[in-house]
Amino acid sequence: MSTSNGFSGLVEFTPAFAPRPEISHVLFDFDGTLSIIREGWPDIMVPMFVEMLPALPGESEAARKQLCHDDIMRLNGKQTIYQMIQLADRIKERGGNPKEPLWYKHEYLRRLEERISHRTDGLRSGKLRQDDLTVFGTRTLLDLLKKRNLTVYLASGTDEQFVKAEAELLGLTPYFGRHIYGAQDNYKNFSKKMVIERILRENTIPGAQLLSFGDGYVEIQNTKEVGGLAVAVASDEANNGSGRFDEWKRQRLLGVGADVVIPDYRDAAKLLDRIFQG
């Protein structure tokens, strides 16, 4: 494991890394990888879970909060509904009578909207710049990929309608066109794995030609399963542009096989040069 020289910021290459000049298609996660509109979402989801989860006799608030946090972060990157299924299961195992997971999902989204509405309103009014709410260097990276004539895709565990709306607010839609995919209420109709399989099938390419960027374990793991190259974005969402790793993300993503770890896209040009050197 080494942090590479020659880059202005932190770029960590694992021993598994090797250049891939044959890459032709690129997959991005959305929240935390490109967009920070939803930064701070755990501050909404964790308290909601704690509120909904019956306490065990003698269980401290801190222990219940830690359980909820661990359940939520273990499933981060999958569709939101899986976290809500986990909540319903926890309530049931503690003798409670849970609501449908979809009810919890919609309640969470209602609460989240209250937190982020000033951001989306700010983008609409022009009070906030698009680059204020994208991971540092996002547009530069996407422009560089476009110059290389690579096809880019976006797949998110957030509901598709919100992903499309927020991508539009951030001015990212032109890069992806129709290749924007997100969660469905019928959660079995979507997964990041299904999107990856579709990319390979429709373009008749092997997994080795796929490059992925993501801050969640799912897209990293799914990319590695098909033989693709996975760049983990251990973004410091609360301090965008700090250049520091989110250490929890870094450890988690290295653990599922990331080939490279970056905090943001300040070294986008050099990183792509390294990936595509043949």
Contact indicator for 71, 86 with CB cutoff of 8 Å: yes
Q: What is the pTM of this model?
A: 0.94
Write the pLDDT tens digit of every residue in 205-217: 999 999 999 999 9
d(CA 84, CA 252): 21
* Residue 135, token pair as written in the block: 């991971």
Confidence of residue 3 (pLDDT cuts 50, 70, 90): low
* Residue 235, token pair as written in the block: 């973004």
Write the pLDDT tens digit of every residue in 223-234: 999 999 999 999
What is the average pLDDT value for the chain, to the nearest integer? 95
**Domain positions in the chain:** 2-36+134-276, 42-125
Write the pLDDT tens digit of every residue in 106-136: 999 999 999 999 999 999 999 999 999 999 9
pLDDT of residue 253: 95
In one-letter notation, the amino acid at residue 113 is: E
* Residue 169, token pair as written in the block: 């607010």
Closest CA to 77 of 202, 245, 270, 230: 230
Which residues lie below 8 Å from residue 86, measured CB to CB, with a gap of 6+? 71, 72, 75
pLDDT of residue 278: 54
d(CA 259, CA 172): 26
d(CA 228, CA 212): 8
CATH domain 2-36+134-276 topology: Rossmann fold (3.40.50)
d(CA 272, CA 202): 25
Classify strands 260-262 and 12-13 as parallel, antiparallel or unpaired.
Answer: antiparallel
Confidence of residue 6 (pLDDT cuts 50, 70, 90): confident
Q: What percent of the chain has pLDDT over 90?
A: 95
Write the pLDDT tens digit of every residue in 50-64: 999 999 999 999 999
28, pLDDT greater than 60? yes
Confidence of residue 77 (pLDDT cuts 50, 70, 90): confident
